[in-house]
Amino acid sequence: MKILHVETGRHLYGGALQVCYLMEGLAQRGIDNLLVCTQGSRIAQEAADYATVCELPMKGELDLLFPIRLFQLIRHHRPDVVHVHSRRGADLWTGSVARLAQVPSILTRRVDNREWPPFARLKYGSYGRVISISDGIRQVLLAEGVAPERVTCIRSVVKSEQYQQPRDREWFEAQFGVPAAAPVIGVIAQLIPRKGHRYLLEVLPRLLERFPTLRVVFFGQGPLQEELEAYIAAHGLEHAVCLAGFRKDMHMILPCLDLVVHPALMEGLGVSLLQAAAAGVPIVGARAGGIPEVVRDGLNGRLVEPANVDQLFDAVSELLADPVLASTFGVAGRELVERDFSVDAMVSSYINVYQELIRKQL
């Protein structure tokens, strides 16, 4: 079996990391991978050991040369299935291109934002199957009019063993200028509005009144950086907040955090939450998108209503004030990830979908 994967993201986190997990698992089972990605993307380097990599120029959704180049690749390599993992125009064009080349295709959707229903039905109708990475996304697709039998939920996963590292607090404190024994909250998300960083910043002065040594570290990059820096300076929070940027060593960082907070307004599932749970870190998350599928209220963390700063303050305060409860949530989160979010289960589920589409094509 040969699968042609299309991933146009430039950075190696979130969806692109899931593509790597999948391709590696497929290669271990003797399945050939061909990866189509944009020139200069991080995934091109990462995937070289378990995929044939084809880097194509792509200038965005209106780059009409991309579908032509993709069609030529499909005709040349003759894959059994074309699997689209990303947007940036790839989701718009590839289903029709694959159909023209007479190859079955599937699309994995990783975001929970709503689309105009007639457009959604037209776009997703060109694929043999649409995969949602959470039930929350599946419900969005059904509400847009995509037929239930065309939508399959295969959740994102994490290599849990990577995040079960010894806790090196001295290293962490030196890296981020954190005082010894200070409680630390981590926020792991792109610096974009829908991730909700502003809500935690809004309640931070109240949290500092109760926990004066508290520190917050934002991990991620994005267009909101300057705005967040200005807000932090204007409210005198420089001593308590660190914008750490994108880090490749989250497997070392996560065990050193006391709490992960994810106050997002929208979220497909939240790979960073899976990583935090795998590391045994309790989580406070918003009840949005697929977050409740990872953060089970009262089991491995607390859920709050999106944009509700009072609930956010109460949940964060509870876990910072009760280390025993926080530890209990952390242990339960690790068990949850190992049971419900394994790479092997994800790979098997995708293979089942591939085989079903191939049988229909015969």
Render pLDDT for 10-19 as a digit per residue (tens, 0 to 9).
777 778 889 9
Please write the tens of the pLDDT for every residue from 122-138: 888 899 999 999 998 99
What's the mean pLDDT when you consider all of the chain?
Answer: 93
Distance CA 109, CA 91 (A): 9
Q: Mean pLDDT, to the nearest integer, of 203-218?
A: 98
Residues of the chain above pLDDT 70, percent = 98
Please write the tens of the pLDDT for every residue from 158-169: 999 999 989 999
**Which residue reads 């963390």 in tokens?**
301
Distance CA 351, CA 239 (A): 50
Given a cut of 90, whether residue 214 has pLDDT beyond it is yes
Domain 160-340 in the same topology as domain 2-157+342-361: yes
Q: Mean pLDDT, to the nearest integer, of 208-234?
A: 97
| Backbone φ/ψ region at 330: left (φ over 0), alpha (ψ -120 to 50), beta | alpha
Q: Residue 64's pLDDT band (boundaries 50, 70, 90)?
A: confident
Query: 241 - beta bridge partners?
Result: 216
Return the pLDDT at 270: 87
CA-based angle 48:155:61, to the nearest 5? 60
Q: Mean pLDDT, to the nearest integer, of 324-345?
A: 95
322 Cβ contact partners less than 8 Å away, ≥ 6 residues apart = none
Specify the higher pLDDT residue, 14 or 115: 115
Q: Domain spans of the chain?
A: 2-157+342-361, 160-340
CA-based angle 190:192:198, to the nearest 5? 105
Burial 284-293 (b: 16+ CB within 10 A, else e): bbbebbbbbb
**Residue 83 burial by Cβ neighbours in a 10 Å radius (0-12, 13-18, 19+):** buried
Residues of the chain above pLDDT 90, percent = 76
pTM of the model: 0.84
Report CA Rg, the chain.
Answer: 21
Fold of 2-157+342-361: Rossmann fold (3.40.50)
Return the pLDDT at 195: 96
Q: Mean pLDDT, to the nearest integer, of 93-104?
A: 91
Query: What φ, ψ does residue 192 adopt, rounded to 5°?
Result: -135, 155
* Full DSSP string of 53-110: EEEE---STT-THHHHHHHHHHHHH--SEEEE---TTHHHHHHHHHHHTT--EEEEE-
First and final C-alpha spacing in the chain: 14
Please write the tens of the pLDDT for every residue from 255-289: 999 999 999 999 988 889 999 999 999 999 999 98
**Which CATH class name applies to 160-340?**
alpha beta
